[in-house]
Chains A and B, each alone.
Chain A
Amino acid sequence: GAGVSQSPSNKVTEKGKDVELRCDPISGHTALYWYRQRLGQGLEFLIYFQGNSAPDKSGLPSDRFSAERTGESVSTLTIQRTQQEDSAVYLCASSFGLAHTDTQYFGPGTRLTVL
């Protein structure tokens, strides 16, 4: 079946502009995660959705970052007034959300470059 998809695959923007990243999870997966991977670093947790609610937003680095999920499906991550340090690959993952043993399935990522 279809995996997790993300769009766009690449985004180049100017400092100060807003960007919106999209994630389409696997159908039936109630849990959705956003992670960020900066060059040469491990993955950094941003936010977790269970259904349409976000029990844990603790990883969002500043109030310029926000995310929403609708219909227990698509999620968007919005970064306002982008800064150069926001440049990274943004990864989305989904899972059944039933247990800590669940496998998370990852999308291909969106590579964001802020000039």
Chain B
Amino acid sequence: GNSVTQMEGPVTLSEEAFLTINCTYTATGYPSLFWYVQYPGEGLQLLLKATKADDKGSNKGFEATYRKETTSFHLEKGSVQVSDSAVYFCALSDRKAGNNRKLIWGLGTSLAVNP
């Protein structure tokens, strides 16, 4: 079946540090991959996505590359800010799931950035 595995948190970094949050997946088909973010007190929102192999999604200084050979979609940012403190979720939508475009989710990784 389909699944998403994320690195466990919490992750604590100092401002301007480099961030990597690992995400790997298994899918029966050819998925689209997403990173969602949940800031404190706010709802889930899309951070970035990639829909085919070797695509790179990017937004707000975050990047993730769809690696089919390693079934990975790791999230990276070169220099984190205090405002990046949030919970980050990796998710997939499997094209072979027919009409159902439900998202399969990782457990989330909490990031705290200290000034």
- A residues sitting closer than 8 Å to B (CB atoms) are 31, 33, 35, 41-45, 48, 50, 55-56, 59, 91, 93, 95, 97, 99-109
Contacts and interface: CB of A to CB of B under 8 A. Distances in A.
Nearest to A40: B107
A44 B89 CA distance: 13
Given A100-B31, A101-B51, A108-B43, A42 B100 contact: no
Contacts of A56: 100, 102
Contacts of B95: 100
A48 B100 contact: yes
Contact of B106 (A35, A42, A91): A42
A48 B102 contact: yes
Nearest to A106: B44
B103 A106 contact: no
B49 interface: yes
Contacts, number: 66
Contacts of A108: 42-43
B101 A95 contact: yes
Contacts of A48: 100-102
Contacts of A100: 31-32, 51, 93-95, 97, 101
15 contacts: A31-B101, A35-B103, A42-B89, A42-B105, A42-B107, A42-B108, A48-B100, A56-B102, A91-B43, A99-B101, A100-B32, A102-B93, A102-B101, A103-B46, A104-B101
B43 A45 contact: no
A91 B98 CA distance: 23
Contacts of A97: 101
Contacts of B31: 100
A45 B99 contact: no
Contact of B105 (A43, A95, A99): A43
B107 A109 contact: no
A41 B87 CA distance: 12
A91 B105 CA distance: 13
